[in-house]
Amino acid sequence: MKFEEITEEIKKKIYRPIYFLMGEEPYFIDEITKQISDTVLTEDEKTFNQVVLYGKDIDAAAIINSAKRFPMMSNHQVVIIKEAQNIKSLDDLVYYVEKPLKSTILVINYKYGNLDKRKKLYKALQDKAVLFQSDKLREDKIPDFINQHVKKLNLSIELPAAQLLTEFVGDDISRIVNELEKMPVVLPQGSNKITSAHIEKFIGVSREYNNFELTKAISKRDILKTNKIAQHFAQNPKNSPLIVTIGILYGYFSKLLIFHFLQDKTTKNAALALGVNPYYINEYIAAAKIYSPAKVVNAINWLRECDMKSKGVGNSSTSDGDLLREFLFKVLH
């Protein structure tokens, strides 16, 4: 089942005996677990009917024993298993999964990985449980997630602001949500649209000096702006670590190389091929006119060289700021 389907069922008080929540992205696992924990039982019922167990302290037998208990003065009991990936005997849970107790809602958090699909337990979960795989969101999908979450707050957000937040926070969905949750409180009265200026003021990222603006300046071969951003990064290394900039630039030039060799360069097809929002395809069109495939390949090679030097390989004294400026000089000139 999808995240939205599961949460919608829970809102309607439609509960399943077993929820097996696994995957690399912890946010969605935590949200489903929290929703069940917060809504199934009243505070009084939780005293006797809700238990949280941790994988490092238990085995499958302990889970089965807890799950087989009947609720006290309630229709349900909730058993939440956290860090289930640490349970060595987890496969033995198959005996309970095949015949679960209907009054128990068993929620299993299996984070940072997926259950082996060849296992008997996996097959049993497919038949008898809600089996949810929480994958990391692709970079191009994060602004869409931001937009959807902002709607839940009865707000809207400009696409550049969503991109700026993504560039600043990365793919840490929990942190993105935490930052967005502040907005209804800090936005000026009467304002319901989040702009880049709001992201800058309330979250602390500079809308002028960031990696998003750096790639935009490079795409236009705007030498002055590129150097100003590089200078700002050099003066604020903690807020603009070179390793992050290298990663973003590597992704940018890799996508530009892909764009060069696309037969169908229409906005829709290019956005799909590059994994970016269609809004940004014009940036790649402009850059492709300035940087030939050979120049893009050179830029990627120089980035690799910059990365190695930043880690001390063949370099003992050049600062990160100077390494970035050296790279940008080669690309722009």
**What does the angle CA 140 – CA 222 – CA 275 come to, to the nearest 5 degrees?**
15
Contacts (Cβ under 8 Å, ≥6 apart) of 64:
92, 93, 95, 96
- State whether 9 and 117 are in the same domain: yes
Other CB atoms closer than 10 Å to residue 193's CB: what's the count? 12
CA 109 to chain centre: 18
Question: The CATH number of the domain where 262 resides is what?
Answer: 1.20.272.10
Considering 203, 229, 245, which residue would you say is the last residue of a domain? 203
Q: Are residues 45 and 125 in the same domain?
A: yes
146 and 168 share a domain? yes
Say whether both 187 and 302 belong to one domain. no
- Banded pLDDT at 163 (limits 50, 70, 90): confident
Q: Are residues 276 and 310 in the same domain?
A: yes
Residues 109 and 148 in one domain: no
Task: Give the pairing type, strands 130-133 and 18-23.
Answer: parallel
Give residue-wise pLDDT tens across range 128-145.
999 999 998 887 788 889
Residues 90 and 121: beta-carbon distance below 8 Å: yes
Task: Mark whether 20 and 106 lie in a shared domain.
Answer: yes
Lowest mean pLDDT: which of 82-96, 108-122, 157-171, 236-250?
157-171
Q: Of 175, 203, 231, at which residue does a domain stop?
A: 203
CATH code, 74: 3.40.50.300
My answer on whether 250 and 316 are in the same domain is yes
Backbone angles phi, psi at 75, to 5 degrees: -80, -25
Looking up tokens 């069940």, which residue turns up?
36
Q: Which residues pair with 132 in a beta bridge?
A: 21
Q: Which of 203, 238, 259 is the last residue of a domain?
A: 203
CA 167 – CA 146 distance, rounded (Å): 12
Average pLDDT score over the chain: 91
| Nearest C-alpha neighbor of 60 from the set 20, 27, 88 | 88
Is residue 192 domain-shared with residue 307, that is, in the same domain? no
pLDDT on residue 322 = 94
Range of the domain at 196: 139-203
This prediction's pTM: 0.71
Give mean pLDDT, residues 258-286.
91
Helix axes 142-152, 159-169, angle to 10 degrees: 110
CA 300: distance to chain centroid?
A: 25
Clarify whether residues 22 and 47 are in a common domain. Answer: yes
Would you give the distance in Å from CA 79 to the centre of its chain? Answer: 27
Contact of 83 with 56, CB cutoff 8 Å: yes
The domain tally of the chain equals 3
Residue 253 is predicted with a pLDDT of 96
> Based on the domain organization, do 118 and 232 belong to the same domain?
no
**Residue 149 sits in the same domain as residue 66:** no
Q: What is the CATH number of the domain that holds 191?
A: 1.10.8.60
Two tokens at 298? Answer: 């050179």
pLDDT score of 146: 92
Q: Where does the pLDDT of residue 37 fall: very low under 50, low under 70, confident under 90, or very high at 90 and above?
A: very high
Give residue 208's pLDDT band: very low, low, confident or very high (50, 70, 90): confident
**pLDDT of 210 strictly over 90:** no
